[in-house]
Structure 1
Amino acid sequence: MTSRVLVYGGSGALGNGVVSLFSSQNWIVTSVGTRPNKQATHNIVVSLDTSLEQQGEQVLRESNEYLKGEKYAAVLCVAGGFEMGNAAHKDFLKNSDLMLKKSLWSSLISARLAAHQLQEGGLFTVTGTAGLRATPGFIGYGVAKAGVHQLVHSLASPKSGLPAKTKVVGLLPKMIDTPNARESSPNADFSSHTPIETLAQRLYNWATGKIPVPHGKLVEAITTKGETSFNEV
């Protein structure tokens, strides 16, 4: 029986890597993003100009129409992004709004969808960021990611609304080796950036049961000199 996965943020750098890996393993992949992913089996295209409720209802409706009663084995939210800005920055509120939409809204919508369309015992994963402390230079980003961390703990608790035996985990990369990162900082030490393929493989291993899922935990992905370790916070 072919398994199904929904990847929220499937049109981003990490999302593209996740969609690519699951597709190569013959999973039926639904990608949710601001643009289609050609590698996905099915696409749901959303706009950041809609409200949280509007976007959520659209995703739930279009996903339900495509599933026709089937369920996902995994719902993976890997949406994100990065914007600078302290409280005095001219674009502080604009950038903060964008970070909330890209990181926290997508995670909340993914949780809503999983409550209705994830199979019992399935995997639910969201991505935060490792070592999150005070982020005075990029406050909106920090607030959004802190909300994602809190969401993991809440969803892993009793009466969260998720299907029985759902495995909930947060994946927290410190730095991801993306094309944008290489373009913006060509002289950076990328031996400390985690490859997209490494993160995608971890998600795939959790989804297939090759690696036990640390339910309710935040798992940091830290890369040093090209070697990546995954550690529960």
Structure 2
Amino acid sequence: MAHRVVIYGGSGNLGRSLITLFNKNNWEVTSIGTRPNEEAAHNIVVSNKEESLEVQGKKVIQNSNSILNGEKYDAILCVAGGFCMGDLAKEDFLETADSMIKKILNPSLIASKLSTVNLKEGGFLMLTGVADLQSTPGFIGYGIAKAAVHHLFNSIASKNGGLPKNTKVMAIQPATIDTPDNRKGMPDADFSQWIPLDLLTRRIFEYTNGTLSVPQGKMVKITTKNGETSFVEL
């Protein structure tokens, strides 16, 4: 019987990389996002513009129920994200802040709720925060959304957080990931200080398949300096 995994954010750079690797290892992948992923066995497409958090959540759960047909997921990995600049003085500040909440926080909320419905006992849930989060005056909406994900994780990983019994849960806190989109957006950056996409993908897969023990209830800060990547449990 194939293992089943949800990749929330399956049309993003990290999501696509994860789906490719899980497929190579014969996992049955369900991709959730605003666009379908042609490699995934199943796709659940949601709309940030037309659907509220509640509507998206109900749609994801209903579609998951149909896909699973009484079975359960082994793992739910939320790697959905996005990035917008925007300080308080920008005319479109509220628009960009709203976009960050919809692209970053809402998927984490839905993925967490989905785990209470369709994750196996002892299954694995992973959320994605960001390394070294402090004040973000130039991109406030992004910072708010990531801070909220950190709060969500700390809350659900705590006693009485609502996760099913024996759920393995962790969050990653990556710094900048070396993706084609990031290179396009920041062509003059020092790429030796960025996390290699393939390395991060393999690491997440190893947490998921049990090759590496999940640091239960912890966040893992991931940074790269001079080409060397570290994974630090917080």
Question: Which category of TM-score, normalised to the shorter sequence, fits these structures?
Answer: over 0.9
1:40-119 counterparts in 2 under 5 A? Answer: 40-49=40-49, 50-119=51-120
In 2, the alpha carbon distance for the partners of 1:152 and 1:229 equals 21
1:1-233 counterparts in 2 under 5 A? Answer: 1-49=1-49, 50-233=51-234
Once the two structures are superposed, what CA deviation does each residue of 1:177-197 show, in whole Å capped at 9, x if it has no partner? 111111122221111111221
Q: Give 1:199 deviation, angstroms.
A: 1.5
State the secondary structure of the residue aligned to 2:198: helix
In 1, the alpha carbon distance for the partners of 2:210 and 2:154 equals 21
State the secondary structure of the residue aligned to 1:48: coil
Structure 2, unpaired ranges of 5+: none
In 1, the alpha carbon distance for the partners of 2:182 and 2:205 equals 24
In 2, the alpha carbon distance for the partners of 1:149 and 1:201 equals 23
Q: Give 1:31 deviation, angstroms.
A: 0.1
Q: CA RMSD in A?
A: 0.9
Letter of the aligned partner of 2:26 in structure 1?
A: N
In 2, the alpha carbon distance for the partners of 1:38 and 1:117 equals 23
Count of matched residue positions in the alignment of Structure 1 and Structure 2: 233
Once the two structures are superposed, what CA deviation does each residue of 1:40-96 show, in whole Å capped at 9, x if it has no partner? 111111101210000110011001100001111100000001101111111110000
Q: Give 1:158 deviation, angstroms.
A: 2.2
Q: Give 1:126 deviation, angstroms.
A: 0.7
State the secondary structure of the residue aligned to 1:32: strand
Q: Give 1:161 deviation, angstroms.
A: 2.2
Letter of the aligned partner of 1:75 in structure 2?
A: I
Letter of the aligned partner of 1:114 in structure 2?
A: S
Letter of the aligned partner of 2:183 in structure 1?
A: R
In 1, the alpha carbon distance for the partners of 2:194 and 2:165 equals 36
Structure 1, unpaired ranges of 5+: none
In 2, the alpha carbon distance for the partners of 1:61 and 1:177 equals 35
State the secondary structure of the residue aligned to 1:88: coil
- TM-score, normalised to structure 2, is 0.97
In 2, the alpha carbon distance for the partners of 1:225 and 1:89 equals 35
Letter of the aligned partner of 2:29 in structure 1?
A: V
| Percentage identity across paired residues of the two chains | 53
Of residues 177-186 and 4-13 in structure 1, the stretch that sits farther from structure 2 once superposed is 177-186
In 1, the alpha carbon distance for the partners of 2:219 and 2:209 equals 19
In 1, the alpha carbon distance for the partners of 2:232 and 2:74 equals 24
In 1, the alpha carbon distance for the partners of 2:69 and 2:46 equals 21
In 1, the alpha carbon distance for the partners of 2:131 and 2:215 equals 16
Whether the 8 Å CA contact 1:156–1:167 is kept in 2: the answer is no
